[in-house]
Structure 1
Amino acid sequence: MRLTQAILLLAAGAAQAASSWSFDDASISVAAKKGSDAIKEKFSQKAPLTKPVGLGSTDTVKVILTAKEDGKAKRPHQAFVTIKEQETGLEAPFPLTVKDTGKAVVQISQKDLPVQFLLSPKPLKASVVIGSFGEARAVNTPVFDIEIQTDPNTPLPKYEAPIRYGKKPEIHHIFRPDPQSPPKVISLFFALAVAATVPALFISWLLLGANLNHLTKALGAAPLSHLTFFGSIVAMEGVFFMYYTSWNLFQILPVAGVVGIVTVLSGTKALGEVQSRRLAGER
């Protein structure tokens, strides 16, 4: 008795495990935008179409079938016609509109397909996918091929592959070339223009009545301050000259800082001495 019950339970489990989804009464038709069906053929899980179905720019593919579970017409949870591009493996699902009786239908035209499909050199693979909740096995069966027929009077669409995250080629940074000095003619012109201001300065002093007799008094009252102040100004010009010819910024900054401090300290005392004589009424 127990042996009989065990056999019945195993048989029931095997029968339950063997349940699966399928489809029947399947057909495909290709209709132009205006006119009757150009093609109408039937197919099944065991007998897919052997010849590709042509799909023109104004055509519409219509797939009709009946979904079944264990041979009984039933509405599944999911039902699709998937179209796959052979070279890239890209797939596009098109859901079937399914009634409670299991009758399902879907219509596909070129405008519904991705751009990559329209540019495919090989026929597209179409499969029927049906599945639902429960123990019944889903079905995924290739049923026919689609051959895209483009309009020769219409240019093909353009497709650019999107940027994907992944390993990129190594980047080798190219530094800009070192800055070049201006032409020597231009540098010489401005150097002479600056040098010409020195005699112009002395001539202006003579024309304005500069009193050179105060030079002796200034050097006598504060010789170190005046000489250091004048020397720091000359030294700063020398720093700029070195920066122009050979030094870089990191070399000039420390030297310019030291010379600048000397200029401020000596200039304060030197100009203070000049101010004291001006306040005393000396001209």
Structure 2
Amino acid sequence: MLLCATRLEYPYAVDNLSAEATDSLKFSFKIQNSERPHQAMVVFQSQDDYQDEVMVAAPVKSSGKGRFELNFARADSRFRYGTRTYSMTFLVGGLTIDEPFKYMLGQIEIKGPSNPATRPERVGYKSQPEIHHQFRPDQRLISQAISGAFTFLVLTPFAVLFFLWSRLGIKFEPLRALASRPLDLIASLVFFGSLTGIEYVFYLYWSHITLFPVLQYLGVLSLVAIVSGRSTLSAVQARRLQRTVGSAKKEL
């Protein structure tokens, strides 16, 4: 059984439209607009506390014409929850249409079937009891006395090393040699400075910075260490050769 034919033209709406649960609704339209629509649909919204919405897509041709047929017996189960009145809204949208076109077609009463579908229980949203999160207390740190004692133990080997150097009478002749050659001295300072910088970057990575900045810093410092270290080691090797040649001459 089909519904009675009704012709509408914007902005008029239909009145007193009703249908049985076994009826079908045929809807055809023509859009006369300079901008081509790409999507159209009819939205059925129940006029009760539930405000159920059923959207039915309506294909649109390039000419602006379109149609669809809706069988209430085989359509969305929300049409079978009993006799209800639905508002019908026609929506048209497109890629170049900023705001969709909206046309209130009117209302339709759809009578429920003899054995209405069982409506699922309505979900009730309400405030839940407040959650009080308790953070764990801060971890206790060791005392300053113990920390200072272990710091002293870590520095003790360096003190022993300098003491043994003073007892052995080690002379830092390379420093005098570097002082006579400014370029070699600068290369040595840059080399040891780059090594110190690399150690400092490791400390920063351990304390707070992330991996990617560490890789950037290490890339620059490693390049500086390679260039300056090569110059420094070459200078050390040259001094060793000079000392070897000088010792050989003395023996002759």
Normalised by the shorter chain, which TM-score bucket? 0.3 to 0.5
Alignment TM-score, normalising by the size of structure 2: 0.45
Alignment TM-score, normalising by the size of structure 1: 0.40
Higher-Rg structure is 1
As a proportion of its length, which structure holds more strand?
1
